[in-house]
């Protein structure tokens, strides 16, 4: 049975697949409100599609970011500054992140920019922005589990050796952690309403829920803030918000990512990405690095 025709979302413009990776990244930065990038690439080359608005739903892939960085047309610092500006604006204040530290993001981006400048990128993920759910430990951030009190009780992770294994793997590959994403309290419900922050606004409609419990992770990907995000899934906590926000969520086989997320043997960490780019075969070069980041098996992940 043929599928019904898909209607484009009102107010959004697609990013043409024929455009260059740099053009897609630049379109995403323009959608986030970046205004500092020149119309031509840093090497003096005119970019295909450069300067064309991509709308609010511009979502470049991991390989788009990597190709743009290698060409020198865009830097990780450019991307970080666009994200910081967007999240500091009214449009970015949609309860998607519960812990965002601009100086931390700038430092990561500066290091990645320097690596690309000297031809020493760590991987295809080097300089690519991502987010992690508020139940997954990451250096410099506190894990609150969507509550109003656990982050204050536990405080931030002060040693990279205490990060969740999947986050540590992504750090070793150079990925840029934007921040901790909002979640339902203790991951118990599928709506995306946080006791700490209220409702995470669905990027497609601020009056709609994003799903849960990994709602913030799905939102930052759907909005084009992050190329991918990591959530946790026991009974649909990655898959539900991914479906509601129009992105792809995947629950890996138990143990494929750091084991016993949230201290529960039924829960796994899982990625959320943009349809047909992060997880589909048409963009295969990004998959080995994602697989490497997700293959770490360990007993301790976060709140357990």
**Residues with a known catalytic role:** 133, 213, 237
Dist CA 137 CA 134 (whole Å)? 8
Q: Is the peptide bond before 109 cis (omega within 30 degrees of 0)?
A: no
Distance between CA atoms of residues 245 and 240, nearest Å = 9
Q: Are 86 and 32 in contact (CB under 8 A)?
A: yes
How many Å apart are CA 98 and CA 246, to the nearest integer? 22
- Residue 192 phi, psi (nearest 5): 90, 20
**199 with 190: CB under 8 angstroms?**
no
In degrees and rounded to multiples of 5, residue 239 shows phi and psi of -70, -35
């Amino acid at each position: 049975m043929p599928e019904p025709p898909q209607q484009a979302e009102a107010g959004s413009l697609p990013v043409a697949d024929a455009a260059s990776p740099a053009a897609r990244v630049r379109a995403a930065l323009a959608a986030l409100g970046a205004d500092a990038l020149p119309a031509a690439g840093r090497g003096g080359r005119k970019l295909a599609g450069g300067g064309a608005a991509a709308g609010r739903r511009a979502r470049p892939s991991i390989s788009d970011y990597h190709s743009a960085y290698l060409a020198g047309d865009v830097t990780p610092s450019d991307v970080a500054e666009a994200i910081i500006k967007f999240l500091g604006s009214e449009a970015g204040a949609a309860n998607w992140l519960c812990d965002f530290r601009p100086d931390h993001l700038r430092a990561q981006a500066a290091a990645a920019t320097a690596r690309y400048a000297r031809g020493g990128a760590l991987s295809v993920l080097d300089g690519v922005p991502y987010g992690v759910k508020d139940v997954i430990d990451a250096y410099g951030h506190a894990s609150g589990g969507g509550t109003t009190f656990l982050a204050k009780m536990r405080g931030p992770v002060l040693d990279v050796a205490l990060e969740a294994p999947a986050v540590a793997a992504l750090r070793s590959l150079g990925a840029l952690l934007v921040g901790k994403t909002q979640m339902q309290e203790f991951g118990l419900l599928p709506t995306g309403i946080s006791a700490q922050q209220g409702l995470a606004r669905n990027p497609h409609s601020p009056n709609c829920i994003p799903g849960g419990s990994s709602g913030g992770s799905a939102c930052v990907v759907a909005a084009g803030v992050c190329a991918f995000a990591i959530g946790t899934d026991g009974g649909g906590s990655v898959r539900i918000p991914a479906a509601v926000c129009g992105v792809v969520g995947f629950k890996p086989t138990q143990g494929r990512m750091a084991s016993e997320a949230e201290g529960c043997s039924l829960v796994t960490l899982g990625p959320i990405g943009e349809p047909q780019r992060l997880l589909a075969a048409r963009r295969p070069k990004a998959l080995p690095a994602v697989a490497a980041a997700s293959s770490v098996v360990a007993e301790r992940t976060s709140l357990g």
